[in-house]
Structure 1
Amino acid sequence: MTNELPHEPDTAAPPAEPVAVTEATVVPEMPTQPPTAPSASKKRLGSLAAGLLGLAAGAALVGGAWAITANIGPGKPDTFTLEGSFSLTDGSSVVSDGDAGCRGSGGYDDIQEGTSVTVYDASGSVVATGALGDSKGAPYSLCTFKVAVDDVPKGEKYYKVEVSHRGTVQMTAEEAEAGELAATLG
């Protein structure tokens, strides 16, 4: 027996042969660290920007829809001007003001240019108001006032018209819209 150890085969790699480096064989350097995922703050900023953009777009759509429907909505109801005349017929209660017109006197002194005219609908609700207009008359005879009440809503079967507090005169919708008011007092 010998104290010698058996010889083991040489497992070391043979020395590398030098490699000639040419442009065609240049290998790009590998990064020392792997690529990183986007940071959480960048993700939050992106989400925030997307949310704000969505909010702005939504507000624009709602605002646009509101503007369109506001202009095509039900709007103001159709109206007309109730026109005609109101006459004070009691000759003893008419005072002529010359070229300035005429007015009532005695028990009719509330009848003059500017006296209130009220228009009621079929249910008795006030729908429009106006006033007696220009007057024309002669001493101790008839005194006639122009009547024009604007913005009377269409759609009623009939209307009632009252001058001052003297009671109502009823007329059909057709008469009212045609300007056929011809009321008298006295």
Structure 2
Amino acid sequence: MTAETPPPPAEEPAFRPGPQEPSHAHPVLAAVAGAVIGVGAVGVSWTFAGGGGGPAGPPPSLASWTPTAFTLTGTFELTDGAVGDGAGGCRGEGGYDDIFEGTAVTVYDAAGTVVATGHLGDSMPDGGTCRFDVSVGDVPTGERFYLVRVSHRGTVLLTEAQAAAGGFGATLG
């Protein structure tokens, strides 16, 4: 048996491509498109869920706002046993050694309940006396009067108007 070669085709066969591979978009473009779609979906969800994040209606007027707390300020003066502290300030000595920068200041309401605490602030010697700044924050409003105590010493009575206006002043010694 002899092998015969088939005759050549009369014309060239048309190009027939094989199965095509799926095309892949550029990874950066795919990421950007995904982010845009995701953000849009979240925005639409918030809109329909009512989660706009802000209060309904206009903000309240400042004229109708009332504070719920204030800072009690004033001075405390030690007139006996005052000495320099070596750093430009002063402190008490002897029977007054509990008086220094950082000594507790306690504010009580009319019922005797502690409503705020602070401490003696910066001190300044003044001709044999020692003057301390007093500042106690977050004192709640709405009391007829307040009692203020420095260390374990006696209390000073102030009205709310005096306390809120920086009217605390006490002397020891």
Tell me the TM-score normalised to structure 1 length. 0.57
**Displacement, 1:68?**
5.6
1:147 aligns with 2:134: yes
Trace 1:166-181 onto structure 2 (pairs within 5 A). 166-181=153-168
Greater helix fraction, Structure 1 or Structure 2: 1
SS at match of 2:169: strand
Measure the CA separation in 2 of the matches of 1:177 and 1:84.
10
- Give the one of 143, 149, 160 matched to 1:162: 149
Q: Contact 1:86–1:182 at 8 Å: present in 2 too?
A: yes
Report the 3-state secondary structure (helix = DSSP H, G, I; strand = E; otherwise coil) of the residue aligned with 1:174: helix
Deviating above 4 A after TM superposition, structure 1's stretches of 4 or more consecutive aligned residues are: none
Matches within 5 A, 1:21-100: 78-90=68-80, 93-100=81-88
* Distance in structure 2 (CA, Å) of the matches to 1:173 and 1:108: 29
1:112 aligned to 87, 100, 103, which one? 100
Gaps of 5+ in 1: 1-59
Work out the CA distance in 2 between the residues paired with 1:81 and 1:106: 31
Could you tell me which runs of 5 or more consecutive residues in structure 2 were left unpaired when the two chains were aligned.
Answer: 1-48, 61-65
Q: SS in structure 2 opposite 1:130?
A: strand
Q: Deviation of residue 98 (structure 1)?
A: 4.8
Structure 2 partner of 1:130: 118
Q: CA deviation at 1:100?
A: 2.4
Q: CA deviation at 1:162?
A: 0.3
| Kept after mapping to 2: 8 A contact 1:102/1:138 | no
Name the TM-score, length of structure 2 as normaliser. Answer: 0.61
Distance 1:154 1:108 in 2: 32
Q: Quick one: distance in 2 between partners of 1:82 and 1:138?
A: 23
The number of residue pairs the alignment matches comes to 122
Deviation at 1:153, TM superposition (A): 0.6
Q: Secondary structure at the match of 1:107?
A: helix
Aligned equivalents of 1:183, 1:150: Cα separation in 2:
18
Contact 1:77 1:154 in 2 (8 A): yes
For 1:84, give the aligned amino acid. G
Q: How big is the shift at 1:167?
A: 1.6
Deviation at 1:138, TM superposition (A): 4.5
Task: Report the AA paired with residue 68 of structure 2.
Answer: D
Task: Give % identity.
Answer: 60
Q: For residues 4-55 of structure 1, what are the alpha-carbon distances to aligned partners after superposition, in whole Å with 9 as ceiling and x for unaligned?
A: xxxxxxxxxxxxxxxxxxxxxxxxxxxxxxxxxxxxxxxxxxxxxxxxxxxx
